[in-house]
A and B are shown apart, each in its own frame.
Chain A
Amino acid sequence: MGEPREEHLSLEALRTFARAAGIGHDDRRLAELAPKIAQQFRDLARLREIDVAGYEPAIWFSAAD
């Protein structure tokens, strides 16, 4: 499944994503969430434009774990 984009935010697309990810919402809840998810995908698209060449993820961990 490709990464969902704003233009694909039909209920069907959300349903497919939710099922694939094990998110068990019914259609009514998915429809309620759709505007928020669409905005979120717009924010994520802007985030992807930030150049991170040369930067590794900053996830904390300890070698002692």
Chain B
Amino acid sequence: MSDELVFASLTELAAMIRSRAVSPVDVVRATLEHIERIGSALNCYITIMGGEAEKEAERLEQLLGEGAYLGPLHGVPISLKDNICTAGTRTTAGSPILEHWVPDQDATAVQRLKAAGAIIIAKANLYEFAFGAPHTRFGPTHNPWDLDRSCAGSSSGSAAAVAAGLCHASIGTDTGGSIRIPATLCGIVGSKPTYGLVSRAGVIPVSYNMDHVGPMTRTVPDAAVVLQAMAGPDPKDSTTVPATLPDFLSIIEDGVQGLRIGILAPQATEAIQPEVREAVRRAYAVFDREGATLSEVVLPDLTQARTVNWVICGAEAAEYHRPYLRTRAGDYHPVVRALLEGGEFIPATDYIHAQRVRRRFTEEVRSALAGVDVLILPAAALEAYRIGQRTVMLDGLEEDVLQANTRYTPLFDLTGHPALVLPCGFSSTGLPIGLQVVGKPLDDARVFRVARAYERATDWHTRRSRLTANQA
């Protein structure tokens, strides 16, 4: 029963709770027991909110008994990347600098999740300040598919926790790929919504221009449900989109028959692990079989996009961190400190130039999408690498693993287009490979629809890692 509860999809679990087949109290207990069993092996949580979660589960159980149902997340355990503020619970950002900081307000996204009935069960491990590397104070998150492997970052703890059944969804943030890359390496779904769809209020910033908040789940409909609960305009975040919110589930089961799908035309700098390339090609064939029409589209140079992303991100993050850099520089992880200090040496003229390139790239992506409904492309260039590994050989060239794995994601943080990753295969070493679906601005519903069509046609999302298969 415990195994059934912790690995049920979020939508299945929510239905069981609503019908009173299970109680939120049982669900929280099962989840906490599961965390107790395997949580430390993964090091995916910084703070486990067991006491609060049990109390909230009792309250929600009582409400159900009174006929009150708060919403589609009623009684569902959800974790939060620890750069998302929680009133009364420390929010460390994975840094000794904020190790004991306790916010007095929930982030807007958290308020909305709670209003829909979610139970916040833990704060998840991450790269320090969602940037660069995990701090040694908190250590790296281990990949549930191979504990010697990395989850990458920065939403590493969130991805591992979802993959291992330690929550039914986690909320991550994505500035250059920080939801999508760990989701890919852990074999789960990660959604970076259209920029402005989810409020950033109460989220510790990396880049004001490019931070996105989004769900990480085990299935595509689960991500749609969680996004629906979090999205919407927020007076506390002037960049939120005032548009009427679409129903993300309304067309999710409609399939891809008749849809036009763009696939990435090869780029000169696009080195990729051969098994990833093959898995993505096989995914193209699935879409073809399901009735979509595929055609190549040209996107801006992905390497240039990564550089532009870095310039904007580096300058904005350095500005935010300046007070800490002056007073507590030695408390940062050396990699994070160097990245931030480097950001202080980006001239304003180059920052503005990067913003102009960003405008150009945004228009080029819009043009690429004009003749198709969505784009599909790889999510990450390689499988999960070993913890501590610095470089990888791709197409005969040695490359930094961080650079290699941020090949396909930063462009869409620059442009704000919705982008979702989901599993599309496994390498010969048994590690997950991911596919990315990118849509037009505010067309997140169609992204879910296309991703769901692939999910229905394949069984990658049903596989479980050895760690959880053995111990759950």
Chain A interfacial positions (CB closer than 8 Å to B): 3-4, 17, 21, 23-25, 29, 33, 36-37, 40-41, 43-44, 46-48, 50-52, 55-62, 64-65
- Asked whether A58 lies within 8 Å of B353 as measured between CB atoms, the reply is no
9 A-B pairs with the lowest CB-CB distances in the bound complex, closest first: A57-B355, A52-B356, A62-B238, A58-B359, A55-B359, A58-B358, A55-B360, A55-B356, A44-B350
Which residues of B, 184-233, contact A by the 8 Å Cβ criterion? 195-196, 208-209
- Asked whether B326 lies within 8 Å of A24 as measured between CB atoms, the reply is yes
Q: In the complex, given contacts A36-B338, A47-B357, A62-B239, what are 20 additional A-B residue pairs having Cβ atoms less than 8 angstroms apart?
A: A3-B349, A17-B345, A29-B341, A33-B338, A33-B342, A37-B345, A40-B342, A40-B345, A41-B345, A43-B307, A47-B308, A47-B311, A48-B350, A51-B360, A55-B357, A55-B363, A56-B359, A58-B358, A60-B196, A60-B239
Count contacts between A and B, CB distance < 8 Å: 84
Give 27 pairs: A residue, B residue, CB < 8 Å, sorted on A.
A17-B345, A21-B344, A23-B341, A23-B344, A33-B338, A33-B342, A36-B338, A36-B342, A40-B345, A40-B346, A44-B311, A44-B350, A46-B304, A47-B354, A48-B350, A50-B304, A50-B353, A50-B357, A51-B360, A56-B359, A57-B352, A57-B355, A57-B356, A58-B362, A59-B355, A60-B196, A60-B209
Minimum CB–CB distance for B232 against chain A, Å: 16
Specify the main secondary structure of chain B where it touches its partner. Answer: helix
Q: How many residues on chain B are close to A (CB under 8 Å)? A: 32
Chain B minimum-CB-distance residue to A23: B344
Which residues of B, 364-420, contact A by the 8 Å Cβ criterion? none
Chain B interfacial positions (CB closer than 8 Å to A): 195-196, 208-209, 238-239, 304, 307-308, 310-311, 326, 338, 341-342, 344-347, 349-350, 352-360, 362-363
- Asked whether B345 lies within 8 Å of A50 as measured between CB atoms, the reply is no
Residues of A within 8 A of B349 (CB): 3
Chain B minimum-CB-distance residue to A56: B359
Residues of A within 8 A of B310 (CB): 43
Residues of A within 8 A of B363 (CB): 55
Residues of B within 8 A of A47 (CB): 304, 307-308, 311, 350, 353-354, 357
Chain A minimum-CB-distance residue to B347: A3
Docked Cα-Cα span, A59 to B196, in Å, equals 13
Given contacts A37-B345, A40-B345, A44-B346, contact A59 B209 (CB under 8 A): yes
Residues of A within 8 A of B359 (CB): 52, 55-58
Minimum CB–CB distance for A51 against chain B, Å: 8
Minimum CB–CB distance for A5 against chain B, Å: 11
Residues of A within 8 A of B350 (CB): 44, 47-48
Docked Cα-Cα span, A40 to B360, in Å, equals 22
Docked Cα-Cα span, A37 to B353, in Å, equals 18
Chain A minimum-CB-distance residue to B239: A60
- Asked whether A50 lies within 8 Å of B352 as measured between CB atoms, the reply is no
- Asked whether A50 lies within 8 Å of B326 as measured between CB atoms, the reply is no
Chain A minimum-CB-distance residue to B310: A43
Of B304, B341, B360, the contact of A25 (CB 8 Å cutoff):
B341
Minimum CB–CB distance for B43 against chain A, Å: 29
Residues of B within 8 A of A40 (CB): 342, 345-346
**Considering residues B239, B350, B352, B362, which has the most beta carbons from chain A within 10 angstroms of its beta carbon?**
B350
Docked Cα-Cα span, A36 to B310, in Å, equals 14
Docked Cα-Cα span, A41 to B345, in Å, equals 9
Residues of B within 8 A of A51 (CB): 360
Residues of B within 8 A of A41 (CB): 345
Residues of A within 8 A of B354 (CB): 47
Docked Cα-Cα span, A45 to B346, in Å, equals 11
Docked Cα-Cα span, A23 to B143, in Å, equals 38
Minimum CB–CB distance for B434 against chain A, Å: 27
Docked Cα-Cα span, A33 to B344, in Å, equals 11
